[in-house]
């Protein structure tokens, strides 16, 4: 007698999002307020694991736009919820490239939640630290607010 096993598999999902962030740049005891704008996307492959990227502009509020840097993030993520959940908490982290007239390598990590108030549209809240260079490292802390689409 043959048995057929049906294993539920989490469907693949894709997101795109836009965000704005307020935060601070911190290096060796110096702090300055910052603002960041960006666009991103993410693909979830099942079991909550995903990969994504985003491109943004980040600068100090007191010297905007002369201090604006471009930021490219390439990340892995983990989402804690089912595909159809209203609240979708996640953690993320990965590689960051900062650029203007030159480049600086770094990393980023953070977490947040997508709140799906409609079938394909949601609100995104996230806290992220983006770290540029080393000796000394510059931390760009940010609280992000945005809209996400699936």
Confirm whether 26 is domain-assigned.
yes
Residue 120 near residue 147 (C-beta atoms within 8 A) = no
Confirm whether 116 is domain-assigned.
yes
**In a 3-state reduction of DSSP, which class is residue 62?**
helix
Question: Which residue would you say has higher pLDDT here, 12 or 137?
Answer: 137
- Split into its structural domains, the chain has a count of 1
Asked whether the CA dihedral 95, 109, 139, 60 is positive or negative, the reply is positive
Q: What is the residue range of 141's domain?
A: 13-149
DSSP code per residue over 68-134: -EEEEEEEEEEE-S-TT-SEEEEEEEEEEEEESSSEEEEEEEEEEEEEESSSSEEEEEEEEEEEE-S
pLDDT averaged over every residue in the chain: 91
CATH number at residue 81: 2.40.160.20
pTM (two decimals) = 0.87
Confirm whether 56 is domain-assigned.
yes
Asked whether the CA dihedral 124, 128, 52, 83 is positive or negative, the reply is negative
Confirm whether 138 is domain-assigned.
yes
Q: What angle do CA 86, 41, 70 make, to 5 degrees?
A: 130
Confirm whether 3 is domain-assigned.
no
pLDDT (0 to 100) of residue 135: 81
pLDDT (0 to 100) of residue 7: 45
Cis amide bond preceding 45, omega within 30: no
Q: Confidence class of residue 144 from pLDDT cuts 50, 70 and 90?
A: very high
Q: Confidence class of residue 122 from pLDDT cuts 50, 70 and 90?
A: very high
Q: What is the mean pLDDT of residues 74-94?
A: 94
pLDDT (0 to 100) of residue 40: 98
Confirm whether 75 is domain-assigned.
yes
Confirm whether 4 is domain-assigned.
no
Confirm whether 121 is domain-assigned.
yes
pLDDT (0 to 100) of residue 5: 47
């Amino acid at each position: 007698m043959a048995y057929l096993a049906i294993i539920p598999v989490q469907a693949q999902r894709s997101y795109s999002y836009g965000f704005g962030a307020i935060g601070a740049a911190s290096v060796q005891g110096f702090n300055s307020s910052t603002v960041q704008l960006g666009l991103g996307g993410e693909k979830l492959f099942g079991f909550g694991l995903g990969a994504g990227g985003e491109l943004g502009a980040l600068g100090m509020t007191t010297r905007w736009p002369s201090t604006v840097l471009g930021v490219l993030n390439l990340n892995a993520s983990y989402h804690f919820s089912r595909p159809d959940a209203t609240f979708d908490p996640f953690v993320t982290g990965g590689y960051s490239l900062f650029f203007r007239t030159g480049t600086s390598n770094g990393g980023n990590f953070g977490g947040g939640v997508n709140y799906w108030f409609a079938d394909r549209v949601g609100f995104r809240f996230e806290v992220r630290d983006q770290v540029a260079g080393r000796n000394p490292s510059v931390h760009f802390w940010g609280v992000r607010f945005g809209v996400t689409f699936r």
